[in-house]
Amino acid sequence: MKNSIRLMISAAALLVLAARADARIPLESFTTPQGHAVVLLQDKIQDTVAIAMAFKCGLACDDEKSYAAGFLAPSLTMDGAAGQSGSEIYEDFMDTGGTLNFSANSDETYLSLSAPSSGLDDAVKIANMVLTKPDFPENKLAQKRDRLATSIDENRLDADIKAQLAFIDASVGPSSYDHYFSPKAEDIRQVTTDQMKTWLKRHVATDGVLISVVGNIEKDKAGEVVDKLLAGLPQKSDDTKFPELKFQNPKPEPIVVQGDGGKQVVVNFGIIGKRPEKLEDWLGGSMLAKIFASGQKSRLFAQVREATGQTYGLESDFNFYEQLGMNRVKGRLGTTALDQSLAVMRKAWDQFRVEGPTEAEIKEARFDMFSEFGSVLRDHQQAAERIRDYLTGHWSAEELSRMPEIISGIDLHDKALRERFFTENPITVIVQ
Amino acid sequence: MFGIRLSLVLVALFWLVLPLKAETRILFIGIESAGSFEVRMWVPFGSVSDVAPGTAHLMEHLKFKSSQEKGLQNIQAIPGSSENAETGYNYTRFDIGVTSENLKDALLALNGVSQPLSVTPQQLATEKVIVTQELLQRTTSDPDSPKLLSALLELYKGTEFERRPSGTEDSINAIKMEDVMAFDAAHYANADKFLMIAGPPIPPEVQKQILAMFPGAVSGNIHVNQDRVATRDDAQLVPLGPFLKSPVATGFADERITHDFSSNHVKLAKLYFTKLVEGPTSWNNGVAARILQEAVRSRLPEGLRDHIADDAGLVQDFGVEIAPLASGVWQLNFSAGLSPGIEPDKVVKVFEDYMADFAKNGISLTSLERLKRRHFLYGEWEDAEQELKNLGIETTTFGYANSMNGRDDIKAVTQDEIQKLLTLFAGPGRVGISVLKPEGAQ
């Protein structure tokens, strides 16, 4: 009997539950004694706990002078704090068995901590120390500045990065998202420790922080560790806002960017748009994108291979930020019969837009969604991060609990849904 | 034309007279909380069996096109299925992910690789183009990779590793229908198979039914504890690797092969150091090597990071890997980004001095115990080694011991075992040093 109960509450069983339209993911919302809102998923199949947080706003909210510090501050927090050296902190943290990831992207600043239950308190204590009492060592900063600036210079030579920048530029032109997608090496080289401390205070503040906790932990204990993790952080961040993006109509003809002139070109193909407000639209768009171009079973890949054979990799990138969203196919095409391959891609896009997916494709997409969902939920860290990511979409725990029902009920034949993510004029970028 | 016909006749005759003595070994990995199956099958041949370079890899693709009634080409139509494959030097691996209700289809499809290949000339031509695109994709993803690969292949000269497993554009273009048919008859027709079926525990009576699909097959079972992370990806944590004989790669002379390359894709010079040494490889020293690798990488007192930064100047993003290349051969890799003004020779000397000092002083018991304790935090697999031995599967080659981190295996690692490895790496061996510099740099 105990085993049965255990199975029922295990995240593994969620896969089975998730396949049922009336199933609910047992997410629980509560507020900690210190007033932080938390979404909790209890799961006892592994004796670990994962905490994922999104501090409101990332590099897209920074101005030209401050964004560069955001590339360095998160990765340097473990290199010195409260008078302890990086080696001491690193050693102590490793002994907890935990992992700590801290980074900034365009829209949010992310913190993700996971640890075995036995090491959780110690891991949280160390994480809090590095967040609240950073001592960024000058020599490490100099090293990291140089390394990062060099890698940014190298990235500018990378054909995939060139394609992505041209793809974004075609639709929105220069924007604050360039801080994230196209940082300047010279800005990185000028960052100081004071700028990093200022950046941390501005971004890592408890106002509006989104928190998920997954694992073998009771609600009271979850509240306690979240409060300990956030203790001493500023309560109010600056009034940070995303600058308004100005979308422009992309040109219909392919944008050609100079590359190395090899026997393959890098291609980016798709649309840029705003993030959907409804969870079902986001999920529906994601499923359509997968049907169209995700993996070797996708119709786009099959059609290009059938027609010219001139590809080994075309992948869907369905990625929506606070304001900027992409339903993009990226990959490589052989230069032989390139025009024909591009024509096949465009025809496949138009056909999908008009005709939509088949019943078999829809069945497969739903299955994949449940399967992926179940797989993610079995890993505490992945699950915490995924729930946190959904929270950044401004969707509530109640809505997220109903995801199995939503996934089962989405009408993927809906023309309006399809036309939203597969517009008439996709952007084509080629780096050759 | 006559040549092709004759080849096809010979192939057909070969099929008719072939003795059916293929062996199949099946390892069932029962994962309590798994929701679907990941089936992996290894056949014990790969690129070293190529007559025409690239044939084994092309065959791996063609097996997904071959028009058998129950073959790999049917897998894509199964909802929720996934498939992948890989061709190595001495093995070819097929992976299929399916739900419980489609497990039988997956097994039939995998068993079907031994049926005669049946593809049209057009399918062969198309697949050659696709395989070429796969080759090119690797090059366009990292434009410097051909240079570094050529240096590595030179280091392997005189062994079965010196030829690229995937062939070259020219060699792939030159492959003919008779080449693939001959390869099929010589290898796939009577292939030994090793299957790993990871997923929800399969009852004994169902296991019997599965065994009946592969006449003469033997099987073993590994049970995965409930409190361990158990996902579909678990199967991928078990890189059993080549399960029969690894290529024999011996006779590495004590020499240094250096290359200086320039690249317009890097802004920072990069150093790649590889050392090949001959020495015994076993399950236990595979685990010991894993711990040694962490000791070299980490910031423990013996750790390389601070040492090299202090003695050689600013070195960035360095990496260390210690693993068997094959039975009886170890490979030590060290790579680093070099800041402007840092001499590669100096960094190599600091690294080699560091390894020599480490070999001289050994690892302290405190550090070893600390490293072991960290490894204990990961999951354990019970009885895995014994079960594999029962199946006659060689566990002394690469991959397996590196990933399993069995509690008892980790406990068993001694200072002496670490010392033996350190002594091995500090001794003679074939060293390759490649430096990739930004174009125009001195």
Listing DSSP states for B242-261 in one string gives --SPPP------S-EEEEEE
**B253 within 8 A of B334, measured Cβ to Cβ:** no
Cα separation, B229 vs B381, in Å, equals 11
Share of chain B above pLDDT 70, in %: 76
How far, in Å, CA of A45 to CA of A7, rounded? 8
Would you place residue B9 in the very low, low, confident or very high pLDDT band (cuts 50, 70, 90)?
very low
Question: Min CA distance, A243 vs chain B (Å)?
Answer: 33
∠ CA A231-A235-A241, nearest 5°, is: 135
Residue B8: name the closest of B16, A229, B412 by CA: B16
Tell me which chain A residue has its CA closest to the CA of residue B266: A154
Q: Do B76 and A143 touch (CB under 8 A)?
A: no
- Chain B residue closest to A93 (CA)? B374
Chain A closest CA to B436's CA: distance in Å?
Answer: 13
Contact by Cβ (8 Å): B35, B201: no
CB contact under 8 A, B80 and A367: yes
User: Which of A43, A90, A139, A151 has the highest number of chain B CBs within 10 A, making it the mutation to test binding with B?
Assistant: A151
% residues pLDDT > 90 (chain B): 31
Of the partner residues A95, A150, A368, the one whose CB lies closest to the CB of residue B268: A150
B264/chain A closest Cα distance in angstroms: 8
Closest Cβ opposite residue B137 in set A94, A296, A312: A312
- Given a cut of 80, is residue B342 above it in pLDDT? yes
**What residues in A contact B373, CB-CB < 8 Å?**
95
Distance, CA of A336 to CA of A387 (rounded, Å): 44
Answer whether residue A76 shows pLDDT above 80.
yes
Reported as a pLDDT band with limits 50, 70 and 90, residue A91 is confident
Cα angle value B19/B21/B25 (rounded, 5°)? 155
Considering only the beta carbons, identify the residue of A12, A263, A368 that sits closest to B136.
Answer: A263
Residue identified by tokens 């473990």 is A78
Q: How would residue A413 be classed by pLDDT, with cut points 50, 70 and 90?
A: very high
Q: How far is B112 from chain A (nearest CA, A)?
A: 21
Q: Where is average pLDDT lowest: A359-363, A424-428, B26-30?
A: B26-30
Is B314–A143 a contact, with Cβ atoms under 8 angstroms apart? yes
Residue A235 has pLDDT above 70, yes or no: yes
Chain A CB contacts of B266 under 8 Å are 154
**What's the pTM?**
0.82
What's the rounded Cα separation, in Å, for the pair B109 and B72? 5
Q: Residue B126 and residue B64: Cα distance in Å, rounded? A: 13
Dihedral-angle region of residue B34 (phi above 0 means left; psi in -120 to 50 means alpha; beta otherwise):
beta
According to the model, what pLDDT value does residue B230 have? 32
How many contacts (CB atoms, under 8 Å) link A and B? 119
Q: Do A332 and B374 touch (CB under 8 A)?
A: no
Q: Considering Cα of A22, then A25, then A26, then A27, what sign does the dihedral take?
A: negative
Q: Which residues of B touch A312 (CB under 8 A)?
A: 130, 133-134, 136-137
How far does B226 lie from chain A, in Å, by closest CA? 7
Cβ neighbours of B299 in A, within 8 Å: 87, 90-91
pLDDT tens digit string along A186-232? 999 999 999 999 999 989 999 889 999 999 999 999 999 999 999 99
| Residue that the structure tokens 């063609």 belong to | B62
pLDDT tops 90 at residue A348? yes
What is the rounded average pLDDT of the residues B167-186? 95
Q: Is the pLDDT of residue B431 over 70?
A: yes
Distance from CA of B4 to the nearest CA of A (A): 25
**What is residue B310's predicted lDDT score, i.e. its pLDDT?**
66
Averaged over B80-109, what is the pLDDT? 88
**Mean of the pLDDT values across residues A315-336?**
89
- The reported pLDDT for the residue numbered B387 is 60
Can you tell me the distance from the alpha carbon of A45 to that of B441, in angstroms, rounded to the nearest whole number?
55
Q: Which residue of B has its CA nearest to A45?
A: B227
- Output A225 or B426, whichever has higher pLDDT: A225
Q: Looking at the partner chain, which of B36, B129, B298 has a beta carbon nearest the beta carbon of A371?
A: B36
Alpha carbon distances (Å) from A48 to B62, B127, B381: 44, 46, 18
When scoring A9, A15, A90 by the number of chain B Cβ atoms within 10 A, the one with the most, hence best to mutate, is A15
**Cα(B211)–Cα(B217) distance, rounded to whole angstroms?**
6
Contacts of A16 in chain B (CB under 8 A): 35
Among the ranges given (A85-99, A134-148, A301-315, B299-313), the one the predictor scored with the smallest mean pLDDT: B299-313
Q: For tokens 């190595």, what's the residue?
A: B88
d(CA A387, CA A395): 10
Contact A46 B228 (CB under 8 A): yes
CA distance A290 to A317: 9
Position B19 scores a pLDDT of: 38
CB contact under 8 A, A262 and B36: no
Can you tell me which residue has the tokens 């040109």?
A: A251
The verdict on a CB contact (< 8 Å) between B35 and A371 is yes
Q: Which two tokens stand for residue A179?
A: 């801080």
- Assess whether pLDDT exceeds 50 at residue B239: no
pLDDT of residue A97: 78
pLDDT for res B266 = 86
Which residues on chain A are in Cβ contact (under 8 Å) with B317? 147
**Angstrom distance (rounded) from CA A53 to CA A61:** 18
pLDDT for B359: 95
Which of the listed ranges A164-168, B285-289, B365-369 does the model predict with the highest average pLDDT?
Answer: A164-168
For A431, the closest chain B residue by CA position comes to: B140
**Bigger pLDDT: B234 vs B300:** B300
Checking if the pLDDT of B314 tops 70, the result is no
Torsion of CA A34, A37, A43, A46, to 10 degrees: -60
CB half-sphere exposure, A211, CA atoms < 13 A: 26
Q: Identify which of B120, B60, B133 has the alpha carbon closest to the alpha carbon of residue B91.
A: B60
Q: What is the mean pLDDT of chain B?
A: 78
pLDDT interval class at B403 (50, 70, 90): very low
Q: Yes or no: say if B156 and A283 are a contact pair by the CB < 8 Å rule.
A: no
pLDDT score for B394: 46
Q: Are B205 and B35 in contact (CB under 8 A)?
A: no
The whole-number average pLDDT for the span A246-250 is: 84
* Long-range CB contact pairs, A200-204, < 8 A, 24+: A200/A73, A200/A77, A200/A131, A200/A134, A201/A234, A202/A66, A202/A237, A202/A238, A202/A240, A203/A55, A203/A57, A203/A58, A203/A70, A203/A104, A203/A109, A203/A237, A204/A55, A204/A109, A204/A111, A204/A131, A204/A233, A204/A234
State yes or no: pLDDT of A239 exceeds 80.
no
| A104-114 mean pLDDT | 93
Q: To the nearest whole number, what is the mean pLDDT of chain A?
A: 88
Q: Which residues pair with A209 in a beta bridge?
A: none
pLDDT at residue B131 tops 90: yes
Strand partners, A272: A326
In tens, the pLDDT along A18-38 reads 445 557 899 999 999 999 999
Nearest-CB residue to A262 (from B140, B227, B373): B140
Residue among A90, A151, A374 whose CB faces B35 most closely: A374
Predicted local confidence at residue B302, as pLDDT? 73
**pLDDT tops 60 at residue B17:** no
| CA–CA separation, A381 and A133 (whole Å) | 25
Q: Can you tell me the distance from the alpha carbon of B210 to that of B217, in angstroms, rounded to the nearest whole number?
A: 9
Nearest to residue A410, comparing CAs of A295, A276, A294?
A: A276
Question: Contact B407/B260 with Cβ under 8 angstroms?
Answer: no
Q: For the residues B96-116, what does the mean pLDDT come to? A: 90
The answer to whether residues B174 and B1 touch, using CB atoms and an 8 Å cutoff, is no
Instruction: Provide the b/e sequence for A84-113 (b: ≥16 CB within 10 Å).
Output: bebbebbeebbbbbbebebebebbbbbbbb
pLDDT at residue A36, as a whole number: 96
Q: What is the pLDDT of residue A250?
A: 83
Find the angle CA(B46)-CA(B47)-CA(B51) to the nearest 5 degrees.
Answer: 115
In the structure, what pLDDT confidence band is assigned to residue B15 with cuts at 50, 70 and 90? very low
